[in-house]
């Protein structure tokens, strides 16, 4: 037990959420990657790959949660690096599933947008914690410029990621005390820009022009399908195409879930595109039941609540905003993923944090958890009971040694005998 307390420090609730999501991920990714295993002829290959990333992320958490939270401000230098990587990706990126989001460097493939998300959270937290050096107008302007540059570079190939990142940073500014007038104008501008984009794609630009960009074509078709939904009169009138295939089979998986078919017995994992990634929540409901679906939702909600508790206990501003940013980014992305799967939002292509199969996204999400646990330890003083007990014991030993050095051996023996009595 002492070894467990020494390894797993910080908030115990966060550790429980982390372990629960990892176990669900391991089970369901193993089940949902059956198609990949069948095509490759290597039945253990997909799950070994996923397990290696989970173990690597777990080791990363063990390292990061032992770093004092004040050192995370140094990560602000990652912002210009991530901007350069995003620019490089636009011209030399690797195209997978119709999107140019990946970059190959020294034999490693990763998504620079995931690194840029972490950099933006640190950047916004750093500026919001410098209220004594900058005015609200300056902070608002600097945040808007830095985040807008990153989101603009991500936008063309990953629309949903840029929206979620900008929304998270806006929520951080709102919580950070930026004036309601500025935030109101910002959200109004975003709504107008979104409406203008939808009208431009749907009514102004010809289809030939829109189809030249795979990302713009997906935005147009998915938005039109979402807002023009009508119940099919019969099976013959409902046509499944490339744009509604995921949404259709996800609904079938959820509808057939009930109490669950047990992991490995789901039927839609072989027909649902990206069953192991963007739509793994549908497979969870089909194989483990609606109760498991609500349990996963409950874990992310508890994470948001717990992050708020940690932030309230932080005395310094930087760790307070940083832990909120990390928690919000995980929570908003998770809620967006689940809303898409159940049909509340248009299809976005966002994975379920820590649960979906992934490489860069899994490691970066573990990085977020490591930061949260570190701040819970060093910023909020949570989960360090074992350290406090050891410090108290050390003080008692020092005090006893001091007393012994000042007294004769006979007096020490008499005092110890009285203490035992």
Identify the band that residue 409 occupies on the pLDDT scale cut at 50, 70 and 90.
very low
Q: Which one of 237-246, 323-332, 337-346, 358-367 scores highest in mean pLDDT?
A: 323-332
Q: Does 412 lie in the same domain as 365? A: no
pLDDT at 419: 47
Model confidence over 258-282: pLDDT tens digits?
888 888 888 888 788 778 888 999 9
Asked whether residue 284 is assigned to any structural domain, the reply reads yes
Asked whether residue 269 is assigned to any structural domain, the reply reads yes
Q: What is the mean pLDDT of residues 395-410?
A: 44
Asked whether residue 235 is assigned to any structural domain, the reply reads no
Q: Does 346 lie in the same domain as 416? A: no
Quote the CA–CA distance of 347 and 224 in Å, as a whole number: 11
Q: Does 401 lie in the same domain as 354? A: no
Its domain, for residue 412, covers: 384-421
Burial class (CB within 10 angstroms; exposed 0-12, middle 13-18, buried 19+) of 340: buried
Q: Does 393 lie in the same domain as 314? A: no
Share of the chain residues as helix, strand and coil, in percent rounded to the nearest 5: 70, 5, 25
Q: Does 316 lie in the same domain as 391? A: no
DSSP 8-state secondary structure symbol assigned to residue 359: S
Among 23-32, 34-43, 348-357, where is mean pLDDT lowest?
A: 34-43
CA nearest neighbour of 123 among 167, 74, 164: 74
Q: Does 283 lie in the same domain as 221? A: yes
Q: Does 388 lie in the same domain as 323? A: no
Asked whether residue 178 is assigned to any structural domain, the reply reads yes
Asked whether residue 90 is assigned to any structural domain, the reply reads yes
Q: Does 225 lie in the same domain as 250? A: yes
Asked whether residue 22 is assigned to any structural domain, the reply reads yes
Model confidence over 135-170: pLDDT tens digits?
889 999 999 999 999 999 998 778 889 999 999 999
Q: Does 373 lie in the same domain as 388? A: no
Q: Does 410 lie in the same domain as 287? A: no
Q: Does 322 lie in the same domain as 403? A: no
Asked whether residue 163 is assigned to any structural domain, the reply reads yes
Q: What is the mean pLDDT of residues 307-325?
A: 95
Quote the CA–CA distance of 330 and 368 in Å, as a whole number: 8
Give the tokens for residue 135.
């005015």
Asked whether residue 237 is assigned to any structural domain, the reply reads no
Give the tokens for residue 261.
């078919």
Q: Does 208 lie in the same domain as 289? A: yes
Total domains present in the chain: 2
Quote the CA–CA distance of 123 and 79 in Å, as a whole number: 7
């Amino acid at each position: 037990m002492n070894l467990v307390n020494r390894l797993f420090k910080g908030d115990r609730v966060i550790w429980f959420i982390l372990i629960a999501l990892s176990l669900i991920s391991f089970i369901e990714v193993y089940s949902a990657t059956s198609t990949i295993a069948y095509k490759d002829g290597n039945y253990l290959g997909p799950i070994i790959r996923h397990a290696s990333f989970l173990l690597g992320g777990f080791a990363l958490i063990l390292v990061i949660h032992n770093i004092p939270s004040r050192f995370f401000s140094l990560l602000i230098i990652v912002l210009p690096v991530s901007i350069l990587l995003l620019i490089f990706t636009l011209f030399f990126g690797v195209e997978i599933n119709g999107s140019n989001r990946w970059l190959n460097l020294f034999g490693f493939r990763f998504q620079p947008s995931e690194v840029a998300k972490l950099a933006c959270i640190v950047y916004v937290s750093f500026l919001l914690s410098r209220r004594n050096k900058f005015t609200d107008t300056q902070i608002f302007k600097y945040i808007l410029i830095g985040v807008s540059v990153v989101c603009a570079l991500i936008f063309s190939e990953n629309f949903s990621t840029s929206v979620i990142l900008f929304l998270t940073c806006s929520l951080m500014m709102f919580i950070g005390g930026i004036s309601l007038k500025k935030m109101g104008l910002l959200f109004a501008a975003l709504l107008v820009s979104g409406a203008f984009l939808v009208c431009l794609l749907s009514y102004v630009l010809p289809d030939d022009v829109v189809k030249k960009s795979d990302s713009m074509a997906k935005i147009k078709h998915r938005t039109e399908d979402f807002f023009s939904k009508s119940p099919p009169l019969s099976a013959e009138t409902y046509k499944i195409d490339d744009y509604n295939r995921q949404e259709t089979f996800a609904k079938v998986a959820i509808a057939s879930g009930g109490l669950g078919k047990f992991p490995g017995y789901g039927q839609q994992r072989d027909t649902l595109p990206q069953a192991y990634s963007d739509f793994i929540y549908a497979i969870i409901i089909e194989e483990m039941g609606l109760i498991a679906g609500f349990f996963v939702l409950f874990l992310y909600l508890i994470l948001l609540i717990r992050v708020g508790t940690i932030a309230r206990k932080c005395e310094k501003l930087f760790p307070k905003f940083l832990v909120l940013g990390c928690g919000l980014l995980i929570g908003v992305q998770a809620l967006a993923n689940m809303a898409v799967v159940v049909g509340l939002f248009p299809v976005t292509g966002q994975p379920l944090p820590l649960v979906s199969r992934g490489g860069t996204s899994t490691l970066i999400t573990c990085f977020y958890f490591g930061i949260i646990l570190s701040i819970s330890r060093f910023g909020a003083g949570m989960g360090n009971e074992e350290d406090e007990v050891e410090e108290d014991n050390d003080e008692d030993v020092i005090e006893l040694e001091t007393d012994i050095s000042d007294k004769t051996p006979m007096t020490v023996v008499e005092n110890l005998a009285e203490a035992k009595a």
